[in-house]
Amino acid sequence: MLFLIRMFLLLILIVGVTLFGFIFCLLILRSKNRVYYLGKVFARVAPLFGLTVEGRVSPEAKEVPQAVYIGNHQNNFDLFTLAAVVPEGVVTVGKSSLRWVPFFGALYWASGNILINRDNRKKAIATIDQVVRSMKSTGLSILMFPEGSRSRGRGWLPFKRGAFHAAVQAGVPIIPIVCSNTHEQVKVNRWHNGKVIVSVLPPIDTTGLHETDVVHLMKQCETLMHETKQKLDDELQQNPHHSLSQ
């Protein structure tokens, strides 16, 4: 019964948020905060799945006017967990196939996010160059998933270089966003599905870096994010109060 109730509410939510969100985005088309406003809505959906989300934002990250944010990409629930810490003035960079996702694709486009063809390397590089030009002209930050695809419990996927090239070219810091493990955490027919921690780390300066430094920068961020996720997972496991309801 709980499964049916949640699926019914989710269907209503998807249709409602897409319809009104699309209209809202068109009305504030010149706003830099379309993704931020929608993020506030999606963050409120987490309790529908029995999730408690704690967002932790480093004070240093709050002071950065523009950055390239990078996050770990686990599954579809990222939409509701990472949304808890989405800052103002940011758009995401996603794969072009997202435009064909029913309902969500139209909203993703209307909210100002950037679609990139990752299957074509030349086009992807050209798009990154375009993203950098857009960042410089608009002052917008971007959020990318360097793994390129949802890990779906396969562990960390190898990082791709696009986000790090963008940060170096734009001359802005990188700010990692790390979410604790959510693989197989949500059971739709269970009331309580535990706690998730999303941590926004201090910015990593890219001042003075060149294209030849991109690989080292990528490895540095990858290691830091791995270590942070492990700490978050360990913290949740050591606190019985935060464990999943059985």
pLDDT tens by residue, the chain, 246 residues: 787 888 888 788 878 888 899 999 999 988 999 999 999 999 999 998 899 999 999 999 999 999 999 999 999 899 999 999 999 999 998 888 888 888 888 899 999 998 877 666 666 677 788 889 989 999 999 999 999 777 777 778 999 999 999 999 999 999 999 999 998 888 888 888 999 999 999 999 999 999 999 999 999 999 999 999 999 999 999 875 555 543
Report the candidate in 51, 71, 38 with the shortest Cα–Cα distance to residue 179. 71
**pLDDT for position 83:** 95
**pLDDT for position 240:** 56
Residue range of the domain that includes 163: 2-242
The pLDDT tens digits of the residues spanning 63-83 come to 999 999 999 999 989 999 999
**pLDDT for position 87:** 95
CATH code, domain carrying 120: 3.40.1130
Rounded distance between C-alpha atoms, residue 196 and residue 154, angstroms? 19
Q: Number of folded domains in the chain?
A: 1
Contact (Cβ atoms closer than 8 angstroms) between residue 48 and residue 3: no
Would you give the distance in Å from CA 8 to the centre of its chain? 26
**pLDDT for position 34:** 96
Contact (Cβ atoms closer than 8 angstroms) between residue 196 and residue 185: yes
Rounded distance between C-alpha atoms, residue 30 and residue 12, angstroms? 28
**pLDDT for position 82:** 95
Rounded distance between C-alpha atoms, residue 61 and residue 36, angstroms? 16
**pLDDT for position 229:** 96
